[in-house]
Amino acid sequence: MRRCWKPLLLLLLVLASVVLSTPTPSSPSLESASATSKASVSPEVDDSADADQSMDRILATLVQHAFGPQHEDHAELYYRTRFFTARLTARMQYIVAQQDSHDAAASPSSTVSATSAHGDDASLGLTQAEVDQLNSIRMDMWLASRKLYQSWGCLSYDLTLCNGESGKIGGTKPSKSERAAMTKWEKRLSTPFVVSKRLPRQEAEEIRNLTQDDNMMQVDDGIDEISPMTLGHYYQNLFPHALYYKWLNYNGKLATTEFTHREFSFTIKDGIYLRYQSFKDSEEFQRELSRLSPSKIDIGAIFTAPPKHAKSLQPGVFKPVSKELVFDIDMTDYDEIRTCCQGGDICAKCWRFMTVAMHVVDRALREDFGFTKIMWAYSGRRGVHCWVCDERARKLDDAGRKAVAGYLSLIRGGAEQGKKVNLTQRSAQHPHIVRSLEIVEEYFEDVLLVDQEILLTRDRWTKVLNALPDEELRKTMDAQWSKRPDRSSVDKWSELIDAVDKRAAKKGSKFGLNTFERDIMLQMTYPRLDENVTTHVNHLLKSPFCIHPKTGRVCTPIAADQFDSFDPFAVPTLAQLLREVNEAPSQSGSVAKSTSMAPYIGVFEDFVSTVLPTPVNSQPSLDF
């Protein structure tokens, strides 16, 4: 099939005229409208011809925005699948319109008679796949409407607040009829298709045949692409909505302000960032996830009022009151140490820095602060997040969070500073430091000396020697290693520690040589926290179970007893999960538990059980 705009545009123009004359399933008052009546298209506009012309221009612009040149990298696949979807949409809307028109004309007695005669077999519902295809094109057109508003110079997507001088379409200002047409489009685009709509069996089977037989669909399914369509499948079929709601609601089924006053932010197609989203219950949250199909979900604080009403409240009324105590550890903060990868790249060798970090921080939170409701999560690419959900932790103010972050932070100084760990004799005896050093010593040789080879070349060993407080010893070791640079880091480390011990025996503790081994091990291995994420109540953090846009991997929970065995490269990708769903035999129950998501959902389920309130047994005890 050739890539051209005319067939697509013509079909979408047909779709527009049908859509606007088709009753919305969720709007009973419109169901008696005639499917073919031109007058019903735009009752607010006096001139019906002008309304038709306006709709043509609006739709042409939406098509440009939705299916424009920005998709040319994979244009053939994109246009072919979208062309099919447009055909399917137009056909299905026509069928619905015809059926509704027939129902409106039929008498109640004849309708009952027909139903009785044919039973349930006389009609057929839409499949989830068909609904997904319709909602995908609806979402594309909705996003295109956002761009159209911007081109009109509208504020807050409000058609009454448009800058008519700068906003032009087709060389002319938006007219009254164009705005009326756009208002009607908005009503259609904001209503998702649902599986409950039933059609005459013959017509529904015709759609099935179109789905199965159309040769335009015999192309790559695009499953490797992270798009609103693939994300929509994920949020509808695999996202653990029930567990997720129980976690953030902290009270089972009944909605509390922990959920209704919680801020969520969504990043949707083309990088559009939606902040201050909030939902009244689990059903609304699930519905919006499916509708918007965000590429990223961030979780924020719980406020004094639902965040969606923030703009309507007086200054000072809308304030954050609580949030989980969170920690973010990113691999890029180890770039000055790790030698295997840089930037956003990771491998099995450098991932062990995250293993050490989780051990150190987790034990401190449990043993020093007494927190028990802790969840670790893989960020989907190059780091880990920690969510402390104890009520004491959630109610900490900024000062309290800063104190916890300061307690856990040990490394101070920029990239140019040689020695970044400075402990007094007293602070070095603190239980947290002693315990952390025990963990670090267990991993130091394997991670730093064997995997990272931090003393293999001169530019690497210079970073270690810069932390030595004795300049003469630095020069001696540099000269010695330069003569035999090919020796392993393990051998060079042994030589360095021997030399430091001998030097310290002569000079005592004057130059701090006797603590060099301890300090450099902590400096190279101790966790590096992003303190800004922890110290502010209203700081957003990426949600578990969203999809990382760069890797396509799911942000999965990590069990506390799996720090050492967790493999970030074994975490399923969106494409992998969708293929597993397609290949798995149909079954009742959770679809996710039949995929490679199952073990991670099991970890999440175990964690959620710890945050829910313990049920109180109302029956009197019979024990004596």
Q: Please write the tens of the pLDDT for every residue from 374-421.
A: 999 999 999 999 999 999 999 999 999 999 999 999 998 776 677 888
* Residue 135 host element (H or E): helix 128-152
Q: What is the pLDDT of residues 461-471, one digit of tens each?
A: 999 999 888 88
Rounded to whole angstroms, the Cα distance separating 487 from 477 reads 13
Q: How confident is the model at residue 213 (pLDDT cuts 50, 70, 90)?
A: very low
Q: What is the pLDDT of residues 40-80, one digit of tens each?
A: 233 333 344 565 566 556 655 655 555 454 433 334 434 44
Question: What tokens appear for 182 in the block?
Answer: 């756009």
Evaluate whether 38 touches 50 at the Cβ level (below 8 Å): no
- pTM beyond 0.85, yes or no: no
Amino acid 214: pLDDT: 38
* pLDDT number for residue 211: 45
**Cα-trace Rg, the chain:** 31
Are 54 and 174 in contact by the 8 Å Cβ rule? The answer is no
d(CA 250, CA 501): 55
Residue 230 near residue 92, CB atoms below 8 Å = no
pLDDT at 312: 87
**Strongest mean pLDDT among 175-179, 192-196, 243-247, 411-415:** 243-247
Residue 487, CA distances (Å) to 333, 350, 445, 454 in order: 28, 22, 15, 12
191 closest CA partner among 427, 20, 426: 20
Active-site position among 132, 140, 330, 519: 330
User: pLDDT digit string (tens) for 338-364?
Assistant: 999 998 899 999 999 999 999 999 999
Structure tokens belonging to residue 494: 């042994």
Whole-angstrom distance, CA of residue 545 vs CA of residue 231: 12
The pLDDT, as a whole number, for residue 506 is 79
Mark whether 214 is an active-site residue: no
pLDDT above 80: residue 171 = no
Residue 217 has pLDDT above 60, yes or no: no
Digit-coded pLDDT (tens) for 496-538: 999 998 888 876 655 567 788 999 999 999 999 999 999 999 9
Encode pLDDT of 224-261 as tens digits.
568 888 888 899 889 999 999 999 999 877 899 999 99
What is the DSSP code string of 597-619?
THHHHHHHHHHHHHHSPPPP--S
Q: How far is CA 233 from CA 93, 384, 519, 577, 592, in A?
A: 22, 26, 50, 10, 12
Q: Both tokens of residue 597? A: 């998501």
Least Cα distance to 179 among 141, 148, 144, 156 occurs for 148
Q: Map tokens 């540099």 to a residue.
A: 478
Residue with tokens 């999560």: 377
User: How far is Cα 421 from Cα 512, in angstroms, rounded to an integer?
Assistant: 12
What is the identity of the amino acid at 398? D
330 flagged as catalytic: yes
What value, to the nearest 5°, has the Cα angle with vertex 69 and ends 68 and 74? 105
Residue with the larger pLDDT of the pair 84 and 437? 437
Which residues does 533 contact at the CB level (< 8 Å), separation at least 6? Answer: 326, 327, 328, 539, 541
Percent of the chain with pLDDT over 70: 61
How big is the CA angle at 167 (ends 164 and 172), to the nearest 5 degrees?
A: 85
Q: How many CA atoms lie within 13 A of 458 on its CB side?
A: 9
Catalytic choice (100, 130, 140, 263)? 263
Catalytic residue (one of 130, 203, 328, 470): 328
pLDDT in tens, 606-624: 999 999 887 655 444 434 3
| Sign of torsion over alpha carbons 202, 203, 204, 207 | positive
* Neighbouring-strand partners of residue 154: 162
